[in-house]
């Protein structure tokens, strides 16, 4: 298996109504069947032979949860990309940094060593960005009646996962474009300027292919990027809302009883 370092951004907060249900305002520290989502992610990562250093970005509560089992917990920066780049700088300034970094979110309740290994084995090692691509059929088969956001292209209806295999070189090259995309993420005009009107039109009229999207990502980020079809659906189920939490609780209970289907 490929050797890799890990960055886990763990500073995400949830709505106060959601907080009242789960008893924490931190997505990473939501508890499912006796353990936090963050601790479950760390257990899965440590079970993989390719895992080297792990750096987590989060507040004091996150540090208390993860500090003893990771290599470093860094304080939060002002934006999501800045959090990731803080982790990137810490790793690349460490002794003998890995040639690859796995960036994975801290709100994946179904992540497992098997799912991570399957994704990593599918990633071509010569690409700067590997993004998990999950078909609508695969996601629904794993999580019937669960909510997810899908994009319809000529060659299928897809969602992406929340774990990305990257190279430090590619990340440093893409730093400015990533910050620009993040700053314009809520502006239709801003995103249209970044992506180009032809691409936006193709997206709106469902005339793009996966290859078209890959080409655009390469153009925007100035480095090599590839979508990884066939990636495990467990990498696409994250907990954003209270409904996601209740679904995950029910699914985990059923799976522990040996009844994974028909959640």
What single string gives the DSSP state of each residue in 3-70? -EEEEEE---B--HHHHHHHS-SBGGG-EETTEEHHHHHHHHHHTSTTEEEEEEE--HHHHHHHTTTS
Q: State residue 252's pLDDT score.
A: 87
Share of the chain above pLDDT 90, in %: 86
55, 4 contact by CB (below 8 A): no
Residue of 18, 260, 20, 235 whose CA lies nearest to 107: 235
Q: What is the pLDDT of residues 146-196, one digit of tens each?
A: 989 999 999 999 999 999 999 999 999 999 999 999 899 889 899 989 999
CA gap 58, 192 in Å, rounded: 32
CA gap 36, 39 in Å, rounded: 5
pLDDT > 50? residue 261? no
Q: Binning pLDDT at 50, 70 and 90, where does residue 33 land?
A: confident
227, 133 contact by CB (below 8 A): yes
Q: State residue 263's pLDDT score.
A: 53
Walk me through the domains of the chain, giving residue ranges and CATH numbers: 4-256 (3.90.550.10)
């Amino acid at each position: 298996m490929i050797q890799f370092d890990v960055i886990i951004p763990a500073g995400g907060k949830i709505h106060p109504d959601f907080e009242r249900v789960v008893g924490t305002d931190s997505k990473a520290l939501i508890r499912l069947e006796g353990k936090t989502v963050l601790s479950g992610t760390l257990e899965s990562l440590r079970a993989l032979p390719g895992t080297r250093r792990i750096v987590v970005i989060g507040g004091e509560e996150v540090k208390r949860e993860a500090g003893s089992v990771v290599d470093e917990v860094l304080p939060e920066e002002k934006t999501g990309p800045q959090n990731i780049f803080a982790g990137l700088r810490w790793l690349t300034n460490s002794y003998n940094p890995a040639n690859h970094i796995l960036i994975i979110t801290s709100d994946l309740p179904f992540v497992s060593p098997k799912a991570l290994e399957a994704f990593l084995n599918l990633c071509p090692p010569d690409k700067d960005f590997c993004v998990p691509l999950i078909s609508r059929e695969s996601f629904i088969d794993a999580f019937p009646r669960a909510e997810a956001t899908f994009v319809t292209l000529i060659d299928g209806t897809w969602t992406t996962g929340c774990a990305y295999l990257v190279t430090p070189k590619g990340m440093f090259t893409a730093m400015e474009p990533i910050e620009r995309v993040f700053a314009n993420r809520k502006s239709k005009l801003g995103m249209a300027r970044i992506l180009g009107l032809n691409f936006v039109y193709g997206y709106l009229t469902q005339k793009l292919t996966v290859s078209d999207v890959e080409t655009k990502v390469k153009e925007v980020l100035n480095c090599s990027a590839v979508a990884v079809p066939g990636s495990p659906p467990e990498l696409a189920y994250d907990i954003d809302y209270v409904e996601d939490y209740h679904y995950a609780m029910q699914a985990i209970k059923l799976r522990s009883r040996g009844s994974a289907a028909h959640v």
